[in-house]
Structure formats: C-alpha cells, structure tokens
Structure 1
Amino acid sequence: MDKTRSAGILMPVFSLPGEYGIGSFGKDAEEFIDIVAETGNRVWQVLPMGPTSYGDSPYQSFSSFAINPYYIDLEGLKEEGLLTEEELKEEKEAFLSSSEKIDYGLLYQRRYPLLRKAYERWKAAGGNPDTLLAERRKENLDYCLFMALKDSFEGSAWPDFPKEFRDKEESALKSFLEEHKDEVAYYAFMQWKAESQWKAIQDYAHERGVLIFGDLPIYCAMDSADVWGNRKIFDFSWEGRKFEKEEPEETSENEQEKQDIQSAEEKGYPGFVAGVPPDAFSATGQLWGNPLYDWEEQAKDNYSFWCKRMEYCFSLYDLIRIDHFRGFEAYYAVPFGEETAVNGSWRKGPGIALFDALHRYFQKESLPVIAEDLGVITEEVRELMRKTAYPGMKVLQFAFGGDYENDYLPHMFQDNKSVMYTGTHDNDTLRNWFETLGEEERGKIYRYLSRSQNDWNAMTELLIKEALSATSYLCIIPAGDYLELLSEGRINAPGTDAGNWQWRMKKHAFSPERKKIMRDMLETYGRRTDKR
C-alpha cells in the first residue's frame, strides 16, 4: 500500500449483520464493502479470523492457519445444494434474538451439526474426502486433525490428551487418522468452504478498489494446533519458577497450589505465560495465558514458523497489523498459575533478526505491515520500529490523558508514517468514551478543539474530523464510532471476561445521510479515494 492519504473502517467479520447469529462471508460482507467504497474509504480492517476457543476471543484461536467455520455463508451452501430452504428457515428462527448480540453458546450447539449435514451431502454427491485431505496445506491439516482429536476426547485441551496423542507419537496419529478420517475430512471440508468464500469476498473488495487489512496476534493460544504441533519452538521451561509462598509455614492452600503447578508441569504446561503489566486498560495488567516463544530455537531455522504464519496471512489480507509489536523487542513473562499479570518480568525478544528473516523469506525490502506499538514503549522499541520502517499506530483516545505534548496529539506527529485511529477494538466507542470522561480530561478536549461545552452533541463528529485531519497517511475509524454508538457498540473491554466480541451492527445502520457525511469528511481532509 502506498502512502497516499486514505481512510478505512474497522469492522470485525463477526459484527456484520445477518440472519444466522453471526457475520459471515456472504451478501452482508459484500454490502459492507459497498459502504466502504461508496463513502470514499480505501480499507476494510478486520480482526483475526481464526477459529475461536473458550472465551470467544479472536486473539485466542485453535490455529494460526485456519478460518472460523462460523463465518461460512449458509446461503452460499444452499445455492450449492448442500443445505435446504427449510434448514435455513429453522436457523433464522433460532437466531431471531441474536441480531444485535452474538450468542456463541447457541452457535456452538447449532452451527456444527448443520455444517455436518452440508458435508454429508457433499460426499453423497461424489465428494472425495481423500482428495480433500490431500489438498490441505500441512499446517491446516494439523488443525483438522487436532480438532478431530479434541472431539474424540470430549473437547479436552491437548495437555489432557492420552500421552501418545499429547506427544504426537507418529504411530498413534497414523492409526487415529485411519480410524477417524471422516472426522478429519469434515473439518477440512469446512476450511475449504471458508477459504473459497473468503476468496470471493477478497475478489469483490478488489473490484471495488477496497483493500482488506488483517490482524495477526503475536502469540498462539495454548490449546491450539500451533502449540501442540510445534512445542519445540515454544518456551516450556520451568527454570526459575518458584513454588514458595511468602508465609513461612506450610498451609494446605499453598501445598495444593504446589501440587497443581507440579501437575501442570508434568502435563506439559509452560512455566511462564504471556501478558502485559498494569496499564491504562487494567490496574492488574492483562494475563493472556499464551505460551511464550523460544526465540533461540526459532532462530535455528530462520524463524520458519513466523514466515509461514505471515505467508498464510498474506493469502488472506492485503496488509497486516502485527499485534503487540513491542513484544518482539522485549516481552512480559508471568509465572504460570498467577491470577493477575502483576508479578511478571521483562525478557529480551528476537529484535530485528526476526524481521530480517521475514524480508529474506519474501525477498522484499518492505512488507505491507503495520506495527501495533501501543503500551509501554521504550527507546529500544522505538529503535526497532526505525529499523523495520513499519508504520506505527496513533490512538486519539490516548491523546488527552497528559499534557499537550502527548505523542498521540495530532500536532505532535513528526511525519505521515503512522496509522491514526479514534480507538481500537479494545477501546470504548468514541461517543461513550467522551461522555464518561472526567471534567479535567474533557476540558482538555474542548480547549484542544477550540470548542465550548455547547458542542457536546457534535463531539463525536468533531473528534472523528480531528483524527482524519492528522498527517498520518491512513486513518481508521471503527464502525461504531461512525454510527455514534454508546457502550452497546464496544467490541472488547480488556481485563473483563464477559460481554466481549458480541457486538453486531444493525442492518442498514449506515443510512444514505450518514454515508454522505462520511464522504464529505473524507473529502475535506484529502482522504476520499473514489474521486481520484
């Protein structure tokens, strides 16, 4: 992507409207691309699209090399003769109450059995499971096998698999594949359909002049095919892990904790997990729980796992946001078993060596990558940013917490090498954020925008205009901000366990009047690409 001024909209696939409980790769995705194009935007930013596990976070996926089967367009399967009109009618009725909020429990109960019917009809029509499996890339086939194993062991996490499967003994896996080939092929079928439908969405976006901006989590989920299949490149060491409590005497409570931790080590859990220390989002930090990488081991094969992850992402997206970029310079390690991320420590990351390896792999001096450089940013992180030359991020909601030399204030930007946001998927909606601010911070906004309190009702639009006016070459506005939603439009609240990743946009939310306002704003600040 060139550095011509442009703009985009942040909209998760799961938040798209539709009648089947969750957004999909169907007509609603095409209609959203139409909104992006008609308003003069150039970019549609999505969140990670991998299959989600417990907690429903797109940043905790069963695989880095797979697509969430929930996104499969059921209407498309009906057109292929794989589902019936009656089945889709029943599905619509089941999700009548899910038009504005996703019910993941209901999705889990209903969607997989329905997709299984489509798979059985595909086989009955002459589909060959052997051919399907042979055409899967290795990493995606590992995911299919992994999910079939989980089903066989009642959804257990892989450390609780029988030892021969937990440790991927070749003979055990070969026997399992022979006996459960149909189950593995069922997952391969869903991946094939998801990939085919997403490719059609990509093509449609490109026809409309829209680029798709993807998101790559820095870490892999503990219970994932990535970790299960590649344990040697992750840090499972327990060296330096202490069992002692501060109390001098032994108690039944800390004795039980010691036993639980020792059991976790024996099963294969890591001694330290990922997170971030206390910050603006959470007073106790964020305890993600992902395994950390063994960067020394990865360096031995030129970071091939990361090269393959990026290669897969580039098959899905035109440009990629790498989440938690500062973790490549130094990352935060929290002892396994901690309830918060307070008691962690920083460790040295791979630095520029990883990105040199990526550039060699793709044989390119530059890659269409944006670095999420939010959080605790040290001079070492800034130096890594300079070396990679990747654009970073600026978030307007972070701009008013300090003095008027805050790095996120538009007048402080040194050049156009950044991507401007009003907020990210982790922020509150712009309107709700402003309306719940304290008087001091809100006063700074009034002064900065040369406005008075009489502009209260117009403040969302004024703040969006401030973001669009920045020198950043690309400005991304979350759909919920353009729609001026309150807290119901928030996507995720870090540090909380309930109510996240559920927001769905209402059908026809972007009225002709709202789209005209968006076009006019983009034109005013030189970002409207449909006029060039």
Structure 2
Amino acid sequence: MHFPRSSGILLHITSLPGPHGIGDLGEQAYQFVDFLQAAGQRVWQILPLSPPAFGDSPYSSFSAFAGNPLLINLAQLAEDGLLDVEQVATVEPIDAPGKADYAAAQRLKRPLLDEAYRRFSDTTRSETHEQYDAYCLDNAWWLVDYARFEAYRERFGTSDWTRWPEQLVHRVPEALMRTDRELAEAIARAKFFQFLFHLQWSRLKQYANERQVRMYGDMPIFVAHESADVWAHQGLFSLDEGGRPTVVAGVPPDYFSETGQRWGNPLYRWDALRGTDYAWWTQRFRSALEFYDLLRVDHFRGFEAYWEIPADAPTAVDGRWCLGPGTEPFDAAREQLGPLPIIAEDLGLITDEVHQLREDLGFPGMRVLQFGFDNPEDDFHRPDQYPANSVAYTGTHDNDTIMGWYGKRRPKPKSQTLADEDDPLAPYLRGDEPVHWQLCAAVLESRSDTAILPMQDVLGLGNAARMNLPGQATGNWTWRVAAEACSPELATRLQQATERSGR
C-alpha cells in the first residue's frame, strides 16, 4: 500500500512535557498536534499505548488491547465532572524535568483515578454511564479477561498467573465466576479505567485527524507471558501443562546487540492459530486500526521466520530459526477488514525471503539512515537509494539520536558540518546548516513516500536523549521533550525543510 508523500515526527505520549510524572493525553498532546500542523507534518508516530509490564517498556505489556491508565489526563477528568477542579489544581507537580518518572506518576494518579471511579459509581445514571455500558459491551471480547487479570494480579500480589490458585491458572469456569463475584468492584474499576483511556484517546485522535495529522501506532509481534492475552488464550502459545513457556522469542546477534536479545515472550502455536483462521490476529488488527490511521508491525520478519530459544537458555545465542505463517494472518485479516495500512518493521538480520514476503503483501518497509554507513559497499539504507514504497527514518526509538550516532562515528570531526571526502556520508553533508538539519533533510528529500524524524533528531540532541538501548533492562523510555522546545521558530524551520522536499 502506497501512502501520500508526507512526513511526521516520532514522539511517544510519555515523552510529552507535563506536571504529573509522564506525558499524557492532555493539553500538551493537543499542543503538539498544533505544532505538527504548523510545521507541515502530517504524521504523528508513537510507541505502543499498552500498560507496560516490566521496565516501563511499552513493548512488554499486560495486554495487547488495553491502554495505559497512567496516560489518562487528570484535568480532563475534572472537565468531565469526575474530579473536582480544585483537586487537580492543588496536586503537587512532580519535579523531574526532561525525565519520565513512572513510579511517581503511579503514586500521584492512582488515588485520583480511584476517586474518579467512586464518583462515577455513586452518581445517578447519565450519558457517561450509557457510553460506559456501550464500551464494555463492544469490547467484552478482550475487556472481561483483561479486567479479571488486573483484579486477580492485585489480589494475589503477582502478575505471574502460573502462581495463582490452580483452578484460576486453568480457568475453571466455576472458579472464575466465584472469584469474579469476590472482586467485582476491582474488575469494574479496571474496565472503567479503560473506558476513560479510550474516551481521551478518541478525542485526541479526532483532533489530530481534523488537522490532517494521521496517528501512526506500533504493534509488537509478541505479547508478554504475564499478560491477560496468554492467560486467556493458553492454547495459542507454546506452554507446558503448568502454563509456563517451553520456548521463547528473541533475535540472534545483529547490529542492535552483539549477543542477540532474549526477549522471553512465549512463542505462538501457529498451527493452533491457523485452525481458527487466525481469529485472534484479526481481532488484534481490527482493534489497532480503530486506534490508529497507520500501523507499524514490529519484528515483521517473525512472520517469515522467527528465532526460537529454549525457555531455560540464559541467552539468545542457542536459538534456531523456525518458519513463520507467511501471509496467512494478513490474508485472513484482509478478508474481514479490507486493505491494511501497515508498515513492516524489516530491520535486523533480514533475508531475501523476508523482503519477498513484504513485497507479496504490498507493505512498505523501513529505511534508517544510521544503518547506511557502516559498510562502504552496502548502500541499502542510504537516502538516495530509498524506494518510494518505504518509510524513511534518521533513526528509530532503538537507535541513538542522530547527533549521538554522528558523535560516536566521528569522535573528532574536522568541522561541525563536513565529513571527510572518502566517507560515504560526505555527499549528504555539504551545506552550511548544522549536521542534524542536513541529515534530516537527506531523509525528507528521499523518494520514500513517508519520512519520519524522531523529535530528538529535529532538536539536534545528543546521546543523553536516547529513548531505548536494546538489551538493557532498566533505565529506558524516560526521555521527555522540554515544554519550550516546540517553538514557533522550530515549526517554521521544519515546515520550510518539509516544503523544500515536496512533502
């Protein structure tokens, strides 16, 4: 699927500024949409919105379908009558400029979210109650088990569902019903938080779409073992009789990590999924495409072949390649959903078979400038080689910033703007502008239908602004943009660069 020639910014919701520990779906998100519009950008790319399970990573979640309640904006709850304006106005701001503090956000927001639920529960029925009932009915196919999972993990003190009472591990209907009655309020509260998230996200998406900004989401191919998804659909995953994974996902050594990555996600039983005509995957695509206008499928190569690691192996080194399902999950989804506006994340150790699969499906792949200059003989990721049906980046959330990368690549550059003549990067750095603007321009001016610039690269920030270091379990996902960074001057400069590139 070809997209109109356009460009956008990669900035996760948590990276927005604001007083409550992490960025959220409030005023700063709307102001960023205004900035994108002023800057001539037509795409806002974000990371997964799901509630993170471990290490605050949006790629490890308690649910593939739920939204992160910490992204709910308190001021909007007050506007909707679910909190007092004074309650929100008197909240002590979290003093962590430029850095997300998820634990502090949890401590601050959870009591107020609980108060919003109590107020909702204690008031007479209103239009909001009707909307809530309709939301619960429409989303019951995933929401019931997710809300159970949230209530159960709170009751039993662990998200490792294999350690819950045996009848709940194996989902004995009578045990589920009995526990549901005992935890009815906690289950209803979890559903209510999802309703609030959905309401606020829908408003933001509508605001962006009305300003010709498309929301570009991200779908991890795998899900966490300690999630509602695996607990509710154990037969679709490679698990033993106790529910624990027998094999797990990861990748062999590549240019992201010398030792590979052992992600630990349970692997799918593709034979079982095929027997259902990939119903779970179709539901997942449907849900995601209701949230987003464009969808990046992370680790797309896993549909062609995936790296299978024994669950007891300490690293990813001893894994093996296994054939994936190919086009089948996408074919099944298209039968019900029509054309799929999907971008294939085809980075890492990519074979001709992976490229062929992507081409068979008609999905654009990704090209990343930072990968184009490690080998003088390999120009695949150099901007002048990008095909139209691709999405071009200076870097992704897994890369260093463009200036961090440039500084490491050239620890003692001869100047701020010029590379050595024998460097394959040199043709892209011949102007008078700062390096980051020249490299951003190279991506914008490429033939790729879509160009995406991480906000850190537009700002020319260094290594300290990196979002994620693959293989590092803690300390990631914390960068936040300064409130004053999205200035009218920056918008004008970006708009001019975008216009010059014909986007």
* Structure-1-length-normalised TM-score: 0.89
- How many angstroms apart in 2 are the aligned matches of 1:449 and 1:107? 42
Shift of residue 391, structure 1, vs aligned partner: 0.4
Cα offsets for 1:280-336 (capped at 9, x unmatched): 111111111101000011001110000000000011000100000000000001111
Match of 1:111 in 2: 109
Q: Which amino acid aligns with 1:332?
A: W
- How many angstroms apart in 2 are the aligned matches of 1:379 and 1:109? 49
**Distance change >3 Å, CA 208–CA 461, structure 1 → 2:** same
- How many angstroms apart in 2 are the aligned matches of 1:166 and 1:109? 30
Shift of residue 4, structure 1, vs aligned partner: 2.6
Match of 1:251 in 2: none
SS across alignment from 1:175: helix
Asked whether 1:11 is paired with 2:11, we answer yes
Shift of residue 420, structure 1, vs aligned partner: 0.2
Match of 2:312 in 1: 337
**Distance change >3 Å, CA 335–CA 485, structure 1 → 2:** same
Shift of residue 133, structure 1, vs aligned partner: 4.9
- How many angstroms apart in 2 are the aligned matches of 1:507 and 1:370? 30
- 1:221-260 equivalences in 2 (<5 Å): 221-236=224-239
Match of 2:212 in 1: 209
Shift of residue 112, structure 1, vs aligned partner: 1.8
Match of 2:201 in 1: 198
Q: Which amino acid aligns with 2:183?
A: H
User: Residues 345 and 365 of structure 2 are in contact (CA less than 8 Å); yes or no, is this contact kept in structure 1?
Assistant: yes
Q: Which amino acid aligns with 1:295?
A: W
User: Residues 44 and 212 of structure 1 are in contact (CA less than 8 Å); yes or no, is this contact kept in structure 2?
Assistant: yes
Cα offsets for 1:495-529 (capped at 9, x unmatched): 112220111111121222211110110011101xx
Q: Which amino acid aligns with 1:183?
A: A
- In structure 2, the gaps of 5 or more residues are 414-418
Cα offsets for 1:242-295 (capped at 9, x unmatched): xxxxxxxxxxxxxxxxxxxxxxx5632111100011111111111111010000
Asked whether 1:471 is paired with 2:470, we answer no
Q: Which amino acid aligns with 2:397?
A: H
User: Residues 159 and 226 of structure 2 are in contact (CA less than 8 Å); yes or no, is this contact kept in structure 1?
Assistant: no
- How many angstroms apart in 1 are the aligned matches of 2:492 and 2:73? 30
Match of 2:374 in 1: 401
Asked whether 1:302 is paired with 2:277, we answer yes
- How many angstroms apart in 2 are the aligned matches of 1:4 and 1:185? 43
- How many angstroms apart in 2 are the aligned matches of 1:439 and 1:169? 61
Match of 2:62 in 1: 62
Cα offsets for 1:358-407 (capped at 9, x unmatched): 21121x2x311100011111111111011101000000000000125421
Deviates more, 1:401-410 or 1:324-333: 401-410
User: Residues 160 and 267 of structure 1 are in contact (CA less than 8 Å); yes or no, is this contact kept in structure 2?
Assistant: no
User: Residues 69 and 197 of structure 2 are in contact (CA less than 8 Å); yes or no, is this contact kept in structure 1?
Assistant: yes
- 1:403-422 equivalences in 2 (<5 Å): 403-413=376-386, 415-422=387-394
SS across alignment from 2:367: strand
**Distance change >3 Å, CA 283–CA 193, structure 1 → 2:** same
Match of 1:35 in 2: 35
- How many angstroms apart in 2 are the aligned matches of 1:509 and 1:232? 48
Q: Which amino acid aligns with 2:281?
A: W
Asked whether 1:448 is paired with 2:449, we answer no
Percentage of matched positions with identical amino acids: 40
* Structure-2-length-normalised TM-score: 0.94
Q: Which amino acid aligns with 2:251?
A: V
Shift of residue 461, structure 1, vs aligned partner: 0.8
User: Residues 367 and 392 of structure 2 are in contact (CA less than 8 Å); yes or no, is this contact kept in structure 1?
Assistant: yes
Match of 1:141 in 2: 144
**Distance change >3 Å, CA 195–CA 408, structure 1 → 2:** same
What is the count of residue pairs matched by the alignment? 491
- 1:80-479 equivalences in 2 (<5 Å): 80-93=80-93, 95=94, 97-126=95-124, 131=133, 133-134=136-137, 136-236=139-239, 267-362=242-337, 364=338, 366-413=339-386, 415-438=387-410, 443=420, 444-449=423-428, 451=430, 458-479=434-455
User: Residues 483 and 510 of structure 1 are in contact (CA less than 8 Å); yes or no, is this contact kept in structure 2?
Assistant: no
User: Residues 333 and 346 of structure 1 are in contact (CA less than 8 Å); yes or no, is this contact kept in structure 2?
Assistant: yes
Shift of residue 187, structure 1, vs aligned partner: 0.5
SS across alignment from 2:92: helix
User: Residues 36 and 491 of structure 2 are in contact (CA less than 8 Å); yes or no, is this contact kept in structure 1?
Assistant: no
Q: Which amino acid aligns with 2:3?
A: K
Q: Which amino acid aligns with 2:212?
A: G
- In structure 1, the gaps of 5 or more residues are 237-264, 528-532
User: Residues 396 and 422 of structure 1 are in contact (CA less than 8 Å); yes or no, is this contact kept in structure 2?
Assistant: yes
Match of 1:508 in 2: 484
